[in-house]
Every structure is written in C-alpha cells, then in structure tokens.
Amino acid sequence: MQRISQTIDGLRQKHGDSLLILAHHYQEDSVVAHADMTGDSLELARQIPLAENVQNIVFCGVHFMAESAAILATPEQRVFLPEASAGCVMSNMAPASLVETMLTRLNSGKRRVIPLAYVNSSAAVKGVCGKFRGSVCTSANSSTMLSWALDRGDAVLFLPDQNLGLNTANILGIPQNERLRLNVRQKGALVDVQAAEQAKLILWPGCCAVHHLFKCAHINQMRKEHPDAQIIVHPECTPDVVEKADAAGSTSAIIKFVEKAPMGSTIIVGTEISLVDRLTERYAPDKKILPLARCQCSNMAKTTEEKLLQTLNALQAGRDISVKDTVRTPARLALQRMLDACN
C-alpha cells in the first residue's frame, strides 16, 4: 500500500499543475489523501471552470460527478473516473427518455413546468432540463434553485430525489396540497392530469439507496443513549428523519457543523459512513462523532488507491468520460444557470 501511495505521489509530481485530482467527501481516506481538493458536489463542480491550465482531471466519485466535470470542462481537457462502473442508484431512477416524455406531457397544456434536476442525475437528464428551460441544483443550494425555478414557470418538476425535494419544499413553506408525487409507471399513462395541473411542486419518485436507510427509530435510539448529543443528517434522508434531527445539510454543511460544535460535545451524523468515520478520527478526543447508523455507498467505495494509480498510469491511452455535443450543450446551459444563480 505504501508503495502504491508513493508511486501516486511520484506521478502527481511528474504531471504537476496539468493534473487535478478531485475527491468527493464520501471517498475513502486512502483516496482522499491524494486529492488536490475534496468537496461536496457544488464545490467540486465550481472547481472545473477555475482549472484553466489543467489538462487532465481525475474525478474520484461517481459517474454523474465526472460527467458534470466533463460538461463544464473545455474541449481540450480530459476527465477520468477511476472506476467506470461507479454509478449512482438514485441517478439511475430517472432515465432521460422517460424524463423527456414526462416533461412533454406536463407541458402539453397551457402551464409551463420547469424541470430542476438534482446534480445526482445523468448528463442526458441535465440536457433535457436545459432544453425545457430548467436547471440543476445540489444539496447545498436546493432552496435557492427551487425558488429560481418557481419564479420561471407555473410549476416545477423536481427530480430524481423526492426526499430532497420534500425537505426543500418544507424549508420554503410550499403547502402539502400543492405537492404531487409523480406516477412515472407506464410511461406516464397513469399521471393524474387534474392533480398535476393543480400542483406547484411535482416530485419524481426517486431516492438515495444509502440515505433512505436512516430511520426515525435510529434517532429515537440515539437520543436515548446520548441525550445531550446534537443530530445532523443529510437532506437526502426522508422528511420525518430530517424533522426529528437538530439540523440537516450537504456534506460540506455537515463538516462545518461539526467544526463549529463546542469542545466536549457529541454529534451524531446521518450520512455515508466514510465521511462520518473521517470526522470521528479527525475530532477525537475533543469531540465525539458517532454515526446515526453505518450506511455505505457501494459505488463510492469502488474507487480505491489501486484504481487511482491505474488511471494515472494510463492518462495518455486511457478512456476519458465524454459527453456528446447534442447533450453537452443543453446540459452545460442547465449547469451554468445554477452556477450563475448561486455565484
């Protein structure tokens, strides 16, 4: 392992400023150790337009993140994902062709329905959102972007994460009777057209396989065992879990919450386990950081130090992530609308 680490260090030195390694907070420590920058989805996306002199971007994360980087990169830059099969269960729940069919249906009358895609979606879905005058959001800016989208149409289709959509609707005070969970079965033939016409917020029925596992019972148990602890969860958790917690926020917001907590405090964190374990280690013994439950994203865990080394060894001949122009142009528009609205 030490040899792998040293070889990676050597390759990073050899490539110098022409190489940028980005890692999402859910990557394992051995991978994070080699990253030029670690961040949440928004912070990492923001790095791409700033990386003008970089030739090769290695994205340690999952496929949709590397695709977003490829959309925002210049045509000369190449983006690599160390493990090609590192996908996202939530992103797979919204296939682009079905999203397009549903949007065409929802926009067939007089109403204008604006799509807002969580960044955890494919480039093709972002492209569809771009074409339908929509945009993208992350868990760090979902309130700003949902307000942005509501200002531009009669209703918003929020996809694919219904939990993030509902939690954001709660923050913005969108009444229950103005929300509709979209029935996407049978290519939209089962959509309640009348209900869709009344709704302000239409939610795609997708979720994160990891955050969906956190339950109110976990919170009840932890409150019993640690009555003085603060509990923070990710907004991909179900609304009942978010409501029972003391706070909710993106991975970076969770890190800041732990950082600001007073010495001696106990904080219980409901998010992917790699990040929680890192925080536990970083703050021991001054603060006690405990997982709400041990839930791992198997796709995030596919990137290892070995895979990173293989990628760095094959930068010349390796296969990079490419997004065809017909998708890239509208997807870039959707992403750019987000970056402009949240600068």
Contacting positions for ligand SF4 (CB under 6 A)? 62, 88-90, 120, 208-210, 272, 297, 299-300
Q: Which of ligand 13P, ligand SF4, none lies near 41, with the C-beta cut-off 5 to 8 A by kind? A: ligand 13P
Number of residues that bind ligand 13P (CB under 6 A): 11
Q: Which of ligand SF4, ligand 13P, none lies near 100, with the C-beta cut-off 5 to 8 A by kind? A: none
Q: Which of ligand 13P, ligand SF4, none lies near 25, with the C-beta cut-off 5 to 8 A by kind? A: ligand 13P
Binding-site string for ligand 13P from residue 299 to residue 328, where x marks contact by CB under 6 A and - marks none: ------------------------------
Q: Which of ligand 13P, ligand SF4, none lies near 89, with the C-beta cut-off 5 to 8 A by kind? A: ligand SF4
251 binds ligand 13P (CB under 6 A): yes
Report angle CA 62, 117, 249 to the nearest 5 degrees. Answer: 70
Q: Residue 49 half-sphere exposure, CB side, CA atoms within 13 Å?
A: 11
Rounded-to-integer distance, Cα 85 and Cα 27, Å: 15
Q: Is 259 exposed, middle or buried (0-12, 13-18, 19+ CB in 10 A)?
A: exposed
Rounded-to-integer distance, Cα 118 and Cα 125, Å: 10
Question: Which residue, 209 or 293, is less far from ligand SF4 as judged by CB?
Answer: 209
Rounded-to-integer distance, Cα 238 and Cα 163, Å: 5
Which residues, 118 to 157, sit near ligand 13P by CB under 6 A? 120, 138-140
Q: Which of ligand 13P, ligand SF4, none lies near 135, with the C-beta cut-off 5 to 8 A by kind? A: none
Task: Quote the least distance from Cβ 210 to ligand SF4, whole Å.
Answer: 4
Residue type, 93: M
Report angle CA 220, 208, 119 to the nearest 5 degrees. Answer: 130
83 binds ligand 13P (CB under 6 A): no
Q: Is 318 exposed, middle or buried (0-12, 13-18, 19+ CB in 10 A)?
A: middle
